[in-house]
Structure 1
Amino acid sequence: MSRRKKSTTKKYPIERTFVAPALVIVAIATQVPFILTIIFSMLQWNIVRPDQGISFAGLKNFIYYLQDSEFYVICLQTVGMVGAALILCMVFGYLIALMLDCDIPGKTLSRTLILSPFFIMTTTTGVLWKTTILNTNFGWVGAIADFFGFKAIDFVSYYSRPLLVFLFVWQWMPFFVLVLLGGLQGIPAEVIERANLDGCSWFEMVFKIKLPMIFNHMQVALMLGLIFLVKEFGLILTTTSGGPGQKSYTLTFYIYKTLFSGSNVGRAAALSVITVIVTLAIINLIFRAIKKRRAMYQ
């Protein structure tokens, strides 16, 4: 009797059929603009000089930034501000998430108040803080200074970078709280009960039990938070406008100035591609670091 040969072909999962339309839409919405940006980055195109026309520049726009010292200064500023904001968002986000995970009075109201900045437009946040709070003449800072009889500090002019880091944290920390709180609430109650029975201290419970169990949530928060912070533009435009000088420039704001002030489409597109590459490289480093750290606890 001949045995039937078992088919070695794998069945196509039906779930992929339902996911395919969403993947196609996301690919068109994200990759097509990026491909156009790459194409524009290889052009010599000044929008205020139509008489010069559009010509192929190859890699000249990328070489221009690699030879420009100003680019490296702004790149370091971006890494410094975004890195500081990311660390503060993660640290305070985790501590606040721990607080909201406990049964405390007014927990629902506290969650609403803490998460509310995340739902405010960044441009609105910038205008609110600059005019209502930080203005030295008719803002809260000016009123408090007049009340106590000392000179108000102009944070926008003298402390632009620390101010932007603070505003980044104020705006985006609720997102970290939301993600990490979801991870904490997903920890099985049996694990917490066993840890309490074993006599774990607060430090061991928080950093040796809960923290390793939400590494996946930390990874999501860090990666998405990095993307949100790198592309942040509204806060910078409405508060410091990149000033004084270029002290509060980030790569995203530099792209805006290159395009709308310098009117150079090719260089702005090249800078956009460089920003994406740098961001993806940092995300990859974060992913590897978290993966290595998680392996240590397994």
Structure 2
Amino acid sequence: MREIAIGTIKLENPFLLAPLAGVTDSSFRRICRQMGAAMVYSEMVSGKGLFYKDKNTDRLLQTYEDEEPVAYQLFGSEPDILAYAARELADRPNVLLDINMGCPVPKIVKNGEGSALLKDPDLVYRLVQATVAEAKKPVTVKIRIGFDENSINGVEVARAAEAAGAAAVAVHGRTREQYYTGKADWSMIAQIKQAVSVPVIGNGDVFSGEEAIRMLNQTGCDMVMIARGAQGNPWIFREALALWEGQEKPEPPSTAERLAVIDQHCAYVMAEKGEYVGVREMRKHISWYLKGIKGSAHLRAEINQKKTFEEINQLLKQLG
């Protein structure tokens, strides 16, 4: 079995938790690591937020030993700002820096960040080059296959990033204009894999362990980054890992196991963010965890009205 690595970072397996704004905080990352994710990514961290000492930005950088290895994902469009961020983060425990070039959210794109960078491969080169020059750890990028169907330039962007020193390229197989609709084009991930010599991480439409293995086989990518497929289903990593190791597919988690993970997740969030914030952030996670459990539909609606973990626990006991 070939070594799985990004630059100097060696990984246990090829399955990674994608960066997701509002989702992949340290609490969820810790759960996914326990389930077998080889590496986890922070929510998007603003280069300007670091530059201007924003307190919320600092909160996004919180990590715990049991979630390592952790990658920080940065976003920005100014080489000097990202270079500053690389210097600021040099001594943090994260193992690499990833530059977001795929976020489709309008406010990010209007600022010339995220997916907007796909329009300017020269700027991609300069951003990566500036970050690599100041980073003490590998720098990677996360891209989409193009901005829209008339500008599918993922190969060009990936080559620009590699030429500037990127240690790996993660590719979401959609354009910016697709957001998360339609189908991810895995054939473009395969083309990008053929076009560069650094590791390529495939991303898009992986909602089961079988699909993770299929992406590896169909595209030839080195690793698979799982995003929405992990929401409410961190067991996807356990499933993918078992299949990758040639074992039987594990049984789906029982209701009792789901409730135990919800309890652990709530405990992490409560300890880190307190009850007021924690409850409001956990509502969506609990709704995802309960999806598909018989009799849970009305509970999900009720949980969205609750303001304490004790009230939520009382409701969840109806399932136990």
Give me the TM-score of the superposition, normalised by structure 1: 0.25
* Higher RCO (CA 8 Å, separation ≥ 6 residues): 1
Structure richer in strand, relative to its length: 2
Structure richer in helix, relative to its length: 1
Structure (1 or 2) with the larger CA radius of gyration:
1
Give me the TM-score of the superposition, normalised by structure 2: 0.24
